[in-house]
Structure 1
Amino acid sequence: MKSLLAGLLLGLAAAATPAAAAPTKLTMYYPIAVGGPLTDVVDGMIKGFKTENPDVDVEAVYAGNYDDTRIRAISAIKSGQPAQLSVLFSIDAYDLIEQDLIVPFEEVATSEDDKKWLGSFYPALMANGKIDGKTWGVPFQRSTIVMFYNKDMFREAGLDPNQPPRTWDEMASAAKKLTKDGRWGLMIPTTGYAYWMFQCFAIENGKELMSADGTRTYFTDPAVVEALAFWRSLSAEKKVSPEGAIEWGTLRQAFTSGQTAMMWHTTGNLTAVKKEAKFDFGVAMLPANKQPGSPTGGGNFYLFKQAKPDERKAALKLIKYMTAPERAAQWSIATGYVGVSPASYETEALKQYGKEFPQAIVARDQLTVAISEFSTYETGRVRDALNNAVQAAVVGSKTPQAALSEAQATADRLLKPFQK
């Protein structure tokens, strides 16, 4: 009888004890478009977040490059699978808004601390994410395009290794001296992100490719056509760059193996170049023609609309954790991506790294002349048209004028419904 009573009391006590609340579950898709074992870095950040937030269970899913990640994340949402946040292209914002898939951060980041956090990022890195006065994307793995150059080859060619080219003319002249049998003076990728590389030339020639509201493009502006003609001239006339396509995915290896003395590439490859190069190399801002400049690039965090209120709050907590100055510094050192806030460069880790390896500071300094990456409504199809035009002109299958006229006609047709 006593044992029966004891068992009954124990059962009642257990029933009266509240069960531990189930953790809020988050699925985060993310891409990697540069070299290195960076999934390990992301996994480490997620582990640190879980330690501090045991009530949130995060599944971080590496999904390939940016296009692969967008497709996978959107497919998951449309098929009813849980996905609360993702790192996607900063230039995906218009498409994601059109598809009604994301919410502005202002709907979730409502406290004074949240608002202060939203204002803590570099303005140039926020430009792609701010549309119609709302913040749709928050910077995470962000970049500018920089010029990597082989200092040993500069010395061999009689060039000052501490004075990289500052103008198009200086770059072409240096590339001529650096080109010899089995080696090119300069390589700029034409596959992968041709539109992004071309945006550099257009900016440096004094013209932006799109309107601020994403409804118009200026591909046939004389300054834009002239910029593409200059890029084409590097291989066709000046003979300092190879004819044909130059692959985005293998250009870093071409540089580190000595096939080219200079290359334009994302700063997101900086750490990989540092590990692979067996020679003294420098990093410089891109050379100017009428003005200096580079587009920003890389990925932003987005909050998906279908997430429940508690999931949105947990997702915001995770994003704030991963963009905090300490993590932003860690990510910058691990990759070469820009620290997304001024505070990240005030951390001891990044201050010390910048002193030891000043190449890591160039992309940050270039933010003062950086503009938002090319993005419009119907951005995927408009961007494809521009990619095709740039590739056709640079390899010589079409003239710059003809190629850009075709791209402009496509953009006009696609963007007409969005023009007021």
Structure 2
Amino acid sequence: MKRRIAIPAAIGVAALALTGCGGASPNGSTGGGSGTSDKLVVWNWGDADEAAAAYTEDVKAAFAEKHPDVEVEIVNQPFDQYYTLLGSAIEAGTGPDVALFNGGTQLKSRADSLIPVTDELADLEDTLAGWPAFQADGETYSAPMFLQGFPIYYNKALFTGAGLDADNPPQTWDELAAACTSITEKTDASCFALGNKEGLGIEFFLSGFGSGVFTPEEYDAWIDGDRDWTSEHAVQVLQMWADTAADGWYNEGANSTAMFNDSFDLFSGGKSAMVIGLMSGTAHWKQFDEFLGEDLGFMMPVTVNDGTTLALPAEGGIGYGVLNEDKKELGVDWIKATVDHDALAAYSLAGGQITSDTTIELDTDIVSANDIVAESAGSKPLLHTALEAETLDLLHRLGQQLLGGEVTVQDAAAQLAASEG
């Protein structure tokens, strides 16, 4: 029998730069905003699949109920160029009226270009979780559509093949290291699937394991902007990243492997025993379940240091921001349409989403999904999304260099510290 589970409302979340919630439409263009009141130009990075396309149609229908005479022009941009194209369009004065943003760094670094909608969305505050990812300096710039986070998934069959207890995954860093040794020695799989061609792997590593490294006080200070990359535990994370590569935890050629979706295909195909994946959009419990079924497991971060409190890293994922002051009213109603209860409810199971709407129940017998939702109440925001855009870009480059042994941990820490002043 399937369990019906309500998504908890008390989710401690803050800000996320998810790295791809969908694919781009092949016929995307670079259209600009409209100057007429009967048209709304919306930019996003396209629909990943049929479920996402159906959700988009539901959103358009919900918007049309309020504005039946307004034409909605949706422009799909390629995700790998999305923010570059958007920035150029904004600078040239040809940007859209409304644009999709990843919560956290990507939205907050562009807050100066966005129209605050704090008062207009206040009536949704008690229904949706994930707001901090779309807030800056006391203002709200969007409503979270889905929750996003970095669960650690594992392949129970490969665990068993390596002589490990598939029902009791590692709980400490030492146990995880021992498990990786067993996996690489006793199976043909790598311990973790990793795609770092774009430099994104260290984001997942930092946020995925961070709660087991930093004390709760250090964690909260990091999110609030009070962090020191040369501190003991920040350096420790960088060292762990370098050491895991040196110890052979990852698939060969990780720095030339795309994360989306090549690395996740390695995990789905049984070529890696574990992966730090996502909980919505893509590389999530529903997609992995299609390949692994009952062999799919979910585990929490592991304890690295004493005095830490493990937490699922999760927060608001994506949301639309208003760029055109003249279209603010239409933009707000578009945002509200994206979090329409019926639209989100239909998409939640079909698309593998864990929605921001805390009143929606997820009807599934997929154990990992149930376990993820059960841990959501104690979740903590993602560490990497608290970083400024320039620091995040630097972290990507240094992550690749650390993986390849091209820079020392101490030098990487010093560069990151200097980037934040």
Confirm or deny a common fold (TM above 0.5): yes
- Structure 1's 155 and 200: CA in aligned 2 closer, same or farther, altered over 3 A? closer
- Distance (whole Å) between structure 2 residues aligned to residue 323 and residue 363 of structure 1: 21
2:210 counterpart of 1:194: no
Cα distance between partner residues in 1 of 2:383 and 2:351: 20
Distance 1:403 1:32 in 2: 35
Q: Does the 8 A contact of 1:128 with 1:373 survive in 2? A: no
TM-score, normalised via structure 2 length: 0.77
Matched residues in 2 for 1:295 and 1:332: separation?
Answer: 20
| Match status 1:92 vs 2:106 | yes
Separation (CA, whole Å) in 1 of partners of 2:398 and 2:231: 14
**1:331/1:318 CA distance change after superposition, 3 Å:** same
From 355, 359, 369, give the equivalent of 2:368.
359
Residues 190 and 271, structure 2, Cα contact 8 Å, conserved in 1: yes
Aligned pair in 2 of structure 1 residues 233, 70: CA closer, same or farther (>3 Å)? same
* CA distance in 2 between partners of 1:160 and 1:181 (Å): 15
Structure 2, unpaired ranges of 5+: 1-35
Structure 2 vs 1, CA of residues 283 and 328 (structure 1 numbering), >3 Å: closer, same or farther? Answer: farther
How do 1:235-254 and structure 2 match up within 5 A? 235-237=245-247, 239-242=248-251, 244-245=254-255, 247-249=258-260, 250-254=262-266
Q: Find out whether 1:136 has 2:154 as its counterpart.
A: no
* Alignment-derived partner of residue 118 in structure 1: 125
1:54-96 CA-partner distances (Å, limit 9, x unpaired): 233222222232x533233343344444622222121223321
Distance 2:220 2:250 in 1: 24
- Of 383, 389, 401, which aligns to 1:392? 401
The corresponding residue for 1:44 is: 57
Percent of aligned pairs with the same amino acid? 20
3-state SS of paired residue (1:293): coil
Cα distance, 1:372 vs structure 2: 4.2
Q: 1:255, 1:61 → 2: CA distance?
A: 33
SS in structure 1 at match of 2:171: coil
- How far apart, CA to CA, are the structure 2 residues paired with 1:362 and 1:42? 25
> 1:242-297: per-residue Cα shift (whole Å, max 9, x none)?
46525312111111112101111122322332334477212233333233235436
Q: Which residue pairs with 1:4 in the alignment?
A: none
TM superposition shift of 1:205: 0.2
Residue in structure 1 matched with residue 116 of structure 2 by the alignment: 104
State yes or no: 1:256 paired with 2:268: yes
8 A contact 2:154–2:296 mirrored in 1 = yes
Amino acid at match of 1:168: W
CA separation of 1:84 and 1:339: change in aligned 2, threshold 3 A:
same
Residues 26 and 59 of structure 1 are in contact (CA less than 8 Å); yes or no, is this contact kept in structure 2?
Answer: yes
CA 1:210–1:397: 2 relative to 1, 3 Å: farther
- Whole-angstrom distance in 2 between the partners of 1:82 and 1:397: 39
CA contact (8 A) 1:210 1:376 kept: no
User: More helix by proportion, 1 or 2?
Assistant: 1
> Which residue, 362, 367, 370 being the options, matches 2:380?
370
Q: CA RMSD in A?
A: 2.9
Moved more, 222-231 or 335-344: 335-344
Corresponding position: 1:284 with 2:299: yes
Q: Aligned residue for 1:150? A: 155
Distance in 2 between residues matched to 1:294 and 1:394, nearest whole Å:
25
Q: Are the aligned partners of 1:30 and 1:62 in contact in 2 as well (CA < 8 Å)?
A: yes
Matching residue's letter, 1:223: H
Q: 1:151 & 1:224 partners in 2: Cα distance?
A: 31
Given that 1:256 and 1:277 are in contact with CA atoms closer than 8 Å, whether structure 2 keeps it comes out as yes
Farther off after superposition, 86-95 or 329-338: 329-338
- Counterpart amino acid of residue 188 in structure 2: G
Residue deviations 1:213-248, cap 9 Å, x none?
Answer: 54x5422111111122223222323x3334652531
Q: 8 Å contact 1:297–1:373 — kept in the other structure?
A: no
Q: TM-score, normalised by structure 1?
A: 0.77
Query: Shift of the alpha carbon at 1:51?
Result: 5.3
Amino acid at match of 1:307: E
Determine which structure has more spread, i.e. the larger CA radius of gyration: 1
Q: C-alpha separation between the residues in 1 aligned to 2:374 and 2:245?
A: 30
Partner in structure 2 of residue 319 of structure 1: 335
Kept in 2: contact 1:43–1:60 (CA 8 A): no
> Is the CA contact 1:187–1:260 (under 8 Å) kept in the aligned structure 2?
yes
Aligned partner of 2:85 in structure 1 is 72
**SS at 1:301 equivalent:** strand
Match of 1:30 among 41, 44, 48: 44
8 Å Cα contact 1:210/1:374 also seen in 2 = no
Letter of the 2:243 counterpart = S
**Structure 1 residue 133: deviation in Å?**
2.0
User: What is the deviation of 1:177?
Assistant: 2.0
State the Cα distance separating 1:39 from its structure 2 match: 4.7
* Conserved? CA contact 1:147–1:262, under 8 Å: yes
Answer yes or no: is 1:159 the counterpart of 2:164.
yes
